[in-house]
Every structure is written in C-alpha cells, then in structure tokens.
Amino acid sequence: MPKLLAPAGLPDTSIGSISAPVTLIEYSSPTCSHCVEYRTRVAPRIHAEFVTTGKVRSIFRPFVRHNVDLVIFMLGRMARRNEARRGHCEFLPWRHVIR
C-alpha cells in the first residue's frame, strides 16, 4: 500500500500540518470540468475549515490526461517560480499548489 501512495515523478506539494490526523490526496486535471469545479468551489472550503485548523493535510498531484494538461502544469510551475522571484502573479487556479 505505501508504494501506491508514493508520488511518481515530481515531489508532492502539500499544504497544512504534517502532523494532521488526516491526509487528503487530490489528483486534478485543469481541463476536466469536474476537477475545475472542485478546485474553485469545494477545495477553498476544505482548506478554510480543515487545513488551516490543522485537521487535514492536503497533497496535490497533477493528473495529466493529454498534452494540454501537461502544458498548463508546466506553465503553472514556471509562473510559481516567477512569483517567488518577483512577487504575486495571478495565472491559474492551480498556481498555489503547483511547485
């Protein structure tokens, strides 16, 4: 079971306390309408109610379904790096979880 939960490729991006009693692993695709709905409406509420209170640790893993997803995640990683170097950059709803 631990092998199934291990990240493949890039290291995990996590938010929240490492000692939280629950770990939520989210696989998400930026071109999936259900994923976008979750990321924009549900995830912020989970973050506010559970992650910031230390009840849940949230791990984000990109789910690449095709080349468009791959390009979006690559651009998101670049935007995140530029944001760290130059300040705030509004780019994607995924930018805060892509490292």
Enumerate domains of the chain plus CATH numbers. 2-64 (3.40.30.10)
11, pLDDT greater than 50: yes
- pTM of the prediction? 0.69
Residue 76 near residue 98 (C-beta atoms within 8 A): yes
Instruction: Look at residues 22, 4, 9 and name the one whose alpha carbon lies nearest to residue 59.
Output: 22
Band (pLDDT 50/70/90 cuts) for residue 91 is very low
| CB neighbourhood size of 92 (10 A) | 17
pLDDT of residue 9: 72
Residue 63 near residue 34 (C-beta atoms within 8 A): no
Determine the Cα–Cα distance for residues 31 and 36; give it in Å rounded to an integer.
Answer: 7
